[in-house]
Structure 1
Amino acid sequence: MIALTAAEIAEAVAGRLRGVENPDQLRLTHADTDSRSMRAAALFIAKPGETTDGHRFIDQALAAGAELVLAERETDTPSGQPHPAVIVDDAVVAMGRLAAEIVTRIRAHSVTTVIGITGSAGKTTTKDLLAALLRPEGQTVAPQGSYNGEVGVPLTVFGAELDTRYLIIEMGADAPGNIRELCEMVRPDIGAVLMVGTAHAGKFGGAEKIAATKGELAELASQQVILNADDAQVAAMADRAAAPISWISSGPSTPGSYAVIAHQMRLDALGRPELTMIFEGRDAEGRSAYPVTSGLIGAHHVTNLLAAAAVAWRAGAAPADIAERLNGLGPSSRWRMERTDRADGVTVINDAYNANPESMREALRTLAILTRGESTGGQRRSVAVLGPMLELGDDSAWRHHQVGETVVRLNIDLTLVVGDEAYPLYRGAIAEGSWGSEVHWVSSLEEAEDWLSTALQPGDVVLFKSSNSAGLRLLGDKMATDERN
């Protein structure tokens, strides 16, 4: 974090200083909500959470090196002395205010490009790809994991310094207006919208409101808007964009001018996209097309590849360098089409970090291609282990039912459905015509593990897919190392 005094922090967050001697001289260079990450000159943010309250860990944070606390109430040491603190009404709101002040100071010091990325799926992968593309161009800060909300975005900003050239912000939303609030916090120069799906539809009240919320980034990016022409709801955001638009597409045509398109895309034997990436215009050597073989698995990652390439290009990277850096670049985050080939011949694909109907269908299509595609050199048995997709609201049952239909239509050989909330998926497969020997349902992870221990055979390709809290990612990890000869 850029160096700020206690007095400057208090002013930025509209807070009240308590127990701080010489606030104009106390300088802070690190800020976090985790007391375990404290060090000298750190600001500990005592944020109340769903399961615990950061105020309980103030003493531990100070003992670990923190020198100032951002808190919602006055607290004291065991001896009765006031903790050195900035007192605010809402710690999360204060985090946003502090992040906005940091962005303002960084912009005043150097040329910094702030990039916002949003979409119902693919944000984290695109962010990781983009960070790898831009780091050779200059000092780049990107979120850890999936930091993308009202807490995660400020934590990302706190990692920036005065010499930060690229600040990448992943923008998630749980309700209308969330993206606008994040944009007002960081003021993105470039905004990329990947796709609109049904993730969190229950919280939003429908896909239309999701599209309206994601489009807030198109409205508020000040220099360039990257839109996915292959998604009708994203393409419709063109009318809302205030900045010039660059299109990406993996289809045969693109409305208006485009930034990057994918040509002649196929999946190789490992399920990795191979494509020719075509950039608008030509480089100094007269070329505009570059072959790319991704290290990611699944055709659905093509949108993420194109978006990262388009943003990097508009941010100043050369097309030839972008293509070279994308070649072989795989996932940097866990449980996203993560492939493990066991010695006994079983291949595990763990994509259970998150799930919605769109990503579920894409993962199943990839499984079908991997086991029956011409590039595989032979047929392997496809096994899908599917858990619940959460936060779908009133549409949950029939959305699960539709995925069950997809399983049958893709001719997945063996499907195991896990958990009560996913039971409609099992019923959907049965209704579509699956025989009982092809689809099974169990209520718990323990039952799923027992079933898989006897059902898997050498040569199987097994996909694990569910929402994060369902825990299938952990079962996938166990199966990736549980080799049976």
Structure 2
Amino acid sequence: MEISELYKIFEQHPVVTTDSRDCPQGSIFFALKGASFNGNAFAAKAIEQGCAYAVVDEQEYAPQGDERFILTDDCLKTLQRLANYHRCHLGTKIIGITGTNGKTTTKELVAAVLEKKYNVLYTQGNFNNDIGVPKTLLRLKPEHEIAVVEMGASHPGDIKTLVDIVEPDCGIITNVGRAHLQGFGSFEGVIKTKGELYDYIRDKGGFVFIHNENKYLQGIAEGLQLVKYGTTTDDSSLEVCGEVMECAPFLKFRWNHRQGGWHEVQTHLIGSYNVYNMLAAACIGIYFNVSEEDVSEALREYIPTNNRSQLEVTGSNKLIVDTYNANPTSMRAALENFRDMAVSPKMAILGDMRELGEVSGEEHQKVVDFLMENNISNVWLVGEEFGKTKCHYRKFADVDEVKAEIAAHKPEGYYILIKGSNGIKLFQLPEML
């Protein structure tokens, strides 16, 4: 079936699902495949559960003469083509966001700012891969004035695949860092892949928002129209400039537009590094004519979720929870901020950083070296990679060992930083602390 024909069906049934356990009445089921499942086998169940149509890519699952089953070459590619067709049909202005760290927080901040003036669609959660991105685009409605679409990557070419689906009008790379090195092969591979967003926008003649002090981004931004933000207060080329005022423990910062009047913002985010995410959102808001007062109000009101830079106050401790993910760049930023926080006593529970490949040992040793050099003394290290490091800190094989220790000897009265890759499962600890 041609995409134009499938789109006519989508216009009558504008909800898609890829999960046979979640089949809204009248929706379209796409039978995707994974390493351990074949969605085709659930197509009939999806129809029974309420889907109007099921898109399959294996003949045996498309009963002869039953028009509810649509046979295609490749369900995932068809989903992506449908999403792109829908995006082009509506013509909504789209801001593409990628980066090693901060892209989800920046996406949410940008959406919060733009919602002061526009009807905004934005990526929910971290639906930022080759399945999540098309599903986001297919949620676009004619009433949406702007969309903010997050794009993630763990291998070369991932961002190119996504930008070809999204066709963003403008974009932002929050930063580039040492993450997913096992998939990218090297830090240079990270930069090249994230830069695929710049490549697309350069070819399209669009523009990008850029952190002006980031030398890696500047190095790949040649030939692009740049809308700049940063923390160099005497740089007249910046659209938005700002600086950290304090972190005690929440970030307080101030910003201005084109060296105009200062706006002070007390945020609900932990970490001085979040000033760049805040300034990015302010810069994008200003570019799209959101008033300076509304920008500041949106940034003040934003409260983080999903275990990202959150402060949780329990009956025993104050927890800085950042357990969604970890890589050398984000770990260093979190530890620098923790070192500089004017609070005491402090404690850190750190979990392994995953997917670092052959440099994993070196990068974990760098973390413990930083801890020792900066006299951060009360530290628990969790996981196999931290277990191999040379240091005097307490080591735990996994989160279950940590939970057993907390049950026996719970720390009390501390500010505790909890950070590690999601797979280490440190997100299970806050309820015990």
Normalising by structure 1, we get a TM-score of: 0.83
Corresponding residue number in structure 2 for 1:476: 429
2:54 is aligned to 69
Could you tell me which of 78, 101, 125 is aligned with 1:145? 125
The structure-2 alpha-carbon separation of the partners of 1:25 and 1:423, relative to structure 1 and needing over 3 Å to count, comes to closer
Q: Specify the alignment match of 1:231 in structure 2.
A: 214
* 2:31 is the counterpart of 1:46: yes
CA apart distance, 1:70: 1.7
Give the whole-Å Cα distance in 1 for the aligned partners of 2:160 and 2:284: 20
2:10 is the counterpart of 1:57: no
User: How far, CA to CA, are the matches of 1:25 and 1:294 in structure 2?
Assistant: 41
Counterpart in the other structure of 1:450:
404
2:76 matches 1:104? no
Aligned counterpart, 1:156: 136
Q: Following the alignment from structure 2 to structure 1, what is the Cα–Cα distance between the partners of residues 337 and 133?
A: 32
Question: Contact between 2:43 and 2:56, CA under 8 Å: does it hold in 1?
Answer: no
- Amino acid in structure 2 at the alignment position of 1:368: R
> Is structure 2 residue 356 aligned with structure 1 residue 401?
no
Relative to structure 1, the CA distance from residue 318 to residue 391 in structure 2 (aligned partners, 3 Å threshold; closer, same or farther) is: same
Q: Percent identity?
A: 27
Say whether residues 1:350 and 2:324 are aligned partners: no
Distance in 2 of aligned mates of 1:348 and 1:52: 38
Larger CA deviation: 458-467 vs 94-103: 458-467
Determine which of 71, 75, 83 is the counterpart of 1:91. Answer: 75
The size of the alignment, in residue pairs, is 430
Aligned in 2, Cα 1:26/1:275: closer, same or farther, shift over 3 Å?
A: closer
What is the deviation of 1:167?
0.9
Deviation at 1:389, TM superposition (A): 0.8
Please list every run of 5 or more consecutive structure 2 residues that lacks an aligned counterpart in the other structure.
none
Q: Which residue of 2 aligns with 1:465?
A: 419
Cα offset for 1:252? Answer: 4.6
Matched, 1:368 2:374: no
**Residue 206 of structure 1: how far off its partner (Å):** 0.8
After superposition, the Cα gap between the structure-2 partners of 1:40 and 1:407, relative to the gap in structure 1 and judged at 3 Å, is: same
Paired amino acid for 1:361: R
Alpha-carbon contact 1:10-1:86 (below 8 Å) kept: no
Q: Which residue of 2 aligns with 1:214?
A: 194
User: Counterpart amino acid of 2:126?
Assistant: S
Shift of 1:193: 1.1
Confirm or deny: 8 A CA contact 1:293 1:328 kept in the other structure: no
Q: AA paired with 2:328?
A: P
1:262 equivalent in alignment to 2:245:
no
Amino acid across the alignment from 2:179: A
The C-alpha deviation readout for 1:280-319, integer Å capped at 9, x for no partner, is 26xxxxx542111111111111111111111222223122
Range with bigger deviation, 158-167 or 80-89: 80-89
Corresponding residue of 2:374: 410
Secondary structure of 1:365 counterpart: helix
Distance 1:253 1:458 in 2: 45
Q: How many Å separate the matches in 1 of 2:65 and 2:408?
A: 62
Matched, 1:320 2:299: no
Deviation at 1:83, TM superposition (A): 7.1
1:440 corresponding residue in structure 2: 394
Q: Which amino acid aligns with 2:107?
A: K
Deviations 1:34-81 (A, max 9, x none): 22332122111110023322223223322221111122213448x997
**1:180 and 2:144 matched:** no
The CA distance in 1 between the partners of 2:128 and 2:398, in whole Å, is 30
Q: CA deviation at 1:416?
A: 1.1
Pick one of 364, 381, 386 that aligns with 2:345.
381
Using the alignment, how far apart are the partners of 1:275 and 1:145 within structure 2? 26
User: Which residue of the partner structure matches residue 16 of structure 1?
Assistant: none
Runs of 4+ in 1 over 4 A off after TM superposition: 6-12, 23-26, 79-83
Residue number in structure 2 paired with 1:336: 308
Cα distance change on mapping 1:40 and 1:293 into 2, 3 Å: same
Distance change >3 Å, CA 259–CA 219, structure 1 → 2? farther
Letter in 1 for 2:246: L
Amino acid at match of 1:33: T
Which residue pairs with 1:19 in the alignment?
none
Letter aligned with residue 218 of structure 2: A
Residue 300 in structure 1 maps to residue 273 in structure 2: yes
Q: Deviations over 1:68-124 (max 9, x none)?
A: 1122213448x99757222222222212111110111111xxxx3200011101010
Alpha-carbon distance between aligned partners in 2 of 1:366 and 1:453, rounded to the nearest angstrom: 29
1:291 paired residue number: 264
Residue 136 of structure 1 aligns to a residue whose secondary structure is: coil
Q: Secondary structure at the match of 1:239?
A: coil
Q: Which amino acid aligns with 1:146?
A: N
Match of 1:359 among 330, 342, 364: 330
- Seen in structure 2, the aligned counterparts of structure 1 residues 204 and 316 have a Cα distance that, compared at 3 Å, is same
Report if aligned partners of 2:270, 2:309 keep a CA contact under 8 Å in 1. Answer: yes
Unpaired runs of 5+ in structure 1?
1-5, 13-22, 282-286, 431-435, 481-485
Change (3 A) 1:61 1:84: same
Aligned residue type for 1:415:
V
1:167 partner SS: strand
What SS class does the counterpart of residue 354 from structure 1 fall into? coil
Q: CA deviation at 1:368?
A: 2.5
SS at match of 1:39: coil
CA distance, structure 1, for counterparts of residue 67 and residue 398 of structure 2: 46
Aligned to 1:115: 95
Q: How far apart are the structure 1 equivalents of 2:123 and 2:339?
A: 33
Secondary structure of the corresponding residue to residue 270 of structure 2: coil
Aligned to 2:226: 245
Aligned counterparts of 2:246 and 2:301: Cα–Cα separation in 1 = 13
Alignment CA distance shift 1:86-1:10 (3 Å)? farther
CA contact (8 A) 2:10 2:28 kept: no
Task: State the partner residue of 1:433.
Answer: none
